[in-house]
Structure 1
């Protein structure tokens, strides 16, 4: 068995995801823990209200919801009763036995699995610590349950990769294929809560992967002047299409004020997160002397990093944003260090000479004085007046500049002007 735990700021989002699966006939709610009624008598609103009432006991806790998936080997086919016994035992062992929770069996994957939805606020208003819940409690519980119920054991991390908990569908939005607000809502709930970004451009770097744009409008627009925010769907060419939707129209309110709090919170990142992405980029570049930027982006994507290049209308590269889907971090290139800035990356890819190489190239193009004098001797019988003038100009250029004026004279000229004297 493989267990995956995701925490969330929005119990509505997690519950809606599972209920949408039920409505699509690819899942069913098979049980409930610590609810006053049987699961078949619970409407969606009753399911949600039980959670909301508990969360109202401690409104200071922001990350207050858990979404757990228990994944079984494809060879296992457990009854609903056994699945509920497994879930009940698991919830007891991780400290959620007295919490309200709902259990959904999903049928839309190649392996049997259930999703469990719950909150971490207890009856007395205290919160259950979610920090390292997987390592501290879930892993020991998983191993015990495998023995108790005779389940196929998870052998290691490779098996875990088979079971990815996707609370929300995150495919690229195609305008007209699904209802716009619903499609935008799904992407926003996933990106806004799961990724770390410290500016609107960084956020948009992720959103554009899903054909979404957070738009403040032009500086003269009413939206911008009132600190409003619009969310737009983009077409395959990255152009806005359809009718934009106000941030305030979504029930989870992803407004500019909400984002500002996120930006401030994410200003400081974990050193290990920065170190991982820097190591991957360095390793990729060190093995390639000359590599096109498109090839670099492909190689980084294989390591779970999307790269967004920003160019001017003339095609000049002026910005790079890296999106690490492993650590869920977005970094502007320059924030990682000078060697990850646009100019440095082009140089490291062999696409642009370094400052030292530029100097060497200039030096290589300028012949030495000795060679010029030797050439003058060899051509003295055939040298024309214009060519001679040009040659002499090159010879004396480094020693003479018509713009040069001794420092003492410059001061005197400046004083004479101040006193109203003329230089003529």
Structure 2
């Protein structure tokens, strides 16, 4: 069982999140302590909110007065409501919240049933409850509860979280919750440096992301929308704006993840590149054969084409390690146009040319200076590649214009000229 604890100053939001699901019949109230109950045995958000707010003194020095926790059993566990209620009581008592007002919700909006608990971090006099080493103590409590109720240990849950995340299925409803689940897992587990690589990861979960730019009252805003897809990558649902999913899943969060990933992926590039090279040297005859042989190496490949069938993007993904790399990030010889040329005329395999790709012994003997120069060149190429993919993602897929690379190159030159002019003025 895994416990996820958070604190907030917004009691209305914590309760509103859960009561909204109650109204949608995706959640039920299991248990409540110290809170008003209607004559029909139900709990109303307005009354629960009022009861809890009255227990928070006006002059309270603690800012984040709300305790919000989710207890997540293993997906294979099927626990009765009575067992979940008893687990919630014992957990809150052991953590030091037994005398606090709290309410327990059982969520069944996704395949993995779990419970949420909302309580207060301060007592009636405004004193903050002891939260020292809270997460450590929480782990000790959940471990003890697992032993007492003979539950599947959390050590068997946390190691493969990403493989348990289901694909988005528009037939099941609750699309926003499904998208949020996929997004948070991907953002936590994977490293990627561009939206193209991000989309290649999401492709596995029947999801795609698009960047949107708007202007309001003279100010420009950047954002993201998530779109469910079918098994073939076609859009199959209504776009969902990141702001409708919740905090920490929007444009800024993705940009921060990409920036942090740029340094983290560098040591991992050689291993991925070598797997791709060795696979291509076996001369796969078709793209499907390439996919199968890369899977044997532990890699997943996502190939993007325009309407005329030309490959304009290719991304290699190691789901276990959690990394996605565009072909050009591996080096110039692994860009999308190389693979397009190969599969258009597989009689010539450039990957067998050791003067271009080198032998394993030669690659191992490369000096640190040469590697640094190569990395700098690759980073420059990646900028062009990402610009091309952004442009191709819309215009090229619809127009089929073969001058797309030239247009991108001209744009780069114009930007460089503007930079030089600004430097001269200074």
What is the TM-score of this pair, normalised by structure 1? 0.51
Partner of residue 29, structure 1: 29
Structure 1 residue 152: Cα displacement: 2.1
Structure 1 residue 341: Cα displacement: 5.2
1:331 and 2:334 matched: no
Structure 1 residue 31: Cα displacement: 1.1
- The answer (yes or no) to whether the contact 1:69–1:114 under 8 Å persists in 2 is yes
Greater helix content: 2
Structure 1 residue 89: Cα displacement: 2.2
Cα pair distance change 1:264/1:159, threshold 3 Å:
closer
Please tell me whether Structure 1 or Structure 2 has the larger radius of gyration of its CA atoms. Answer: 1
Cα pair distance change 1:246/1:303, threshold 3 Å:
same
Q: Deviations over 1:299-333 (max 9, x none)?
A: 77799975433446662454415373x67x55334
Cα pair distance change 1:66/1:293, threshold 3 Å:
farther
Structure 1 residue 192: Cα displacement: 4.4
Bigger shift: residues 234-243 or 206-215: 234-243
Cα pair distance change 1:91/1:216, threshold 3 Å:
same
- The answer (yes or no) to whether the contact 1:274–1:336 under 8 Å persists in 2 is no
Q: Deviations over 1:198-238 (max 9, x none)?
A: 54434444455434432426xxx879994354636465454
- The answer (yes or no) to whether the contact 1:69–1:165 under 8 Å persists in 2 is no
| Mapping 1:206-225, distance limit 5 Å | 206-208=201-203, 209-216=205-212
Cα pair distance change 1:203/1:127, threshold 3 Å:
farther
Aligned partners of 2:16 and 2:293: how far apart in 1?
A: 36
Bigger shift: residues 23-32 or 265-274: 265-274
- The answer (yes or no) to whether the contact 1:70–1:114 under 8 Å persists in 2 is yes
The aligned length equals 330
Structure 1 residue 94: Cα displacement: 4.8
* SS of aligned partner of 2:259: coil
Bigger shift: residues 85-94 or 36-45: 36-45
- The answer (yes or no) to whether the contact 2:199–2:209 under 8 Å persists in 1 is yes
- Runs of at least 5 residues in structure 2 that lack an aligned partner in the other structure: 343-347, 359-426
What is the TM-score of this pair, normalised by structure 2? 0.51
Aligned partners of 1:193 and 1:44: how far apart in 2?
A: 27
Aligned partners of 1:352 and 1:307: how far apart in 2?
A: 19
Partner of residue 268, structure 1: 260
| Mapping 1:182-221, distance limit 5 Å | 183=175, 185-196=176-187, 199-208=194-203, 209-216=205-212
Aligned partners of 2:315 and 2:42: how far apart in 1?
A: 53
- The answer (yes or no) to whether the contact 1:14–1:67 under 8 Å persists in 2 is no
